[in-house]
Amino acid sequence: MPSYDPNNIFAKILRGELPSYKVYEDDKTFAFLDIMPRAPGHTLVLPKAPARNILDVSADDFAYVMKVSQKIAKAAMTAFEADGITMQQFNEGAGGQVVFHLHVHIIPRKAGLPMKPPASEKEKPDVLAEQAKKLAAALAGCTNGSPPSGGAAGSSCGLP
Ligand code: 5GP
């Protein structure tokens, strides 16, 4: 397997060299909207530590990315009034990976609506900005220990 390329596009986003529609950040993870979403609210969750994919990431970093992915999935259910979530994660070109910094796709789904094909359409900047704001707000509710905005009393986004 090739080694990690520090000039991949997501590494540049993590370093702030390229812009992104951020929805969540902590000391170990960063999450932002996919610019070619397969459904509204399509989010990518990354470890900050360099890793190509699950084949070279540390077990602890991967476990933490999954914890944050769960939290974002729960908040996305509320923010996008979703009926379900599709989670995807690709490893190496043969496994469908295009950008070689580990990321988990969180895709909010509506019943009966198919996902768009991958990389089919770039979303408008104002739409992405609005969606990022909505999801970040739902997540902020979660990190405060309160239910996501609009969520049922007693609901929780869980860890971390
Ligand atoms: P994968 O590597 O898992 O196959 O997919 C890479 C994902 O990154 C795709 O869903 C694609 O739409 C998304 N993507 C590609 N370039 C950019 C970019 O510059 N910014 C953002 N936010 N997403 C990107």
Does the residue 37 lie in any domain?
yes
Question: What are the pLDDT digits (tens) for 100-112?
Answer: 999 999 999 999 9
Does the residue 157 lie in any domain?
no
Q: Whose CA is nearest to atom 12 of ligand 1?
A: 36
CATH of the domain at 68: 3.30.428.10
Supply the pLDDT for residue 141. Answer: 84
Whole-number Å distance, alpha carbon 118 to ligand 1 midpoint, is: 9
Secondary structure in 3-state letters for 141-156: HHHCCCCCCCCCCCCC
Question: What are the pLDDT digits (tens) for 39-83?
Answer: 999 999 999 999 999 999 999 999 999 999 999 999 999 999 999
Q: Per DSSP, what are the bridge partners of residue 24?
A: 31
Statement: the pTM of the whole predicted model exceeds 0.85: yes
Question: Which residue range is the domain that position 49 belongs to?
Answer: 9-139
Total of domains in the chain: 1
Radius of gyration of the chain from Cα atoms? 15
Does the residue 156 lie in any domain?
no
Does the residue 4 lie in any domain?
no
| Dihedral (Cα; 126, 131, 132, 135), 10-degree rounding | 170
Whole-number Å distance, alpha carbon 88 to ligand 1 midpoint, is: 12
| Among the listed residues 152, 108, 113, the one whose alpha carbon sits nearest the alpha carbon of residue 131 | 108
| Dihedral (Cα; 52, 58, 59, 62), 10-degree rounding | -40
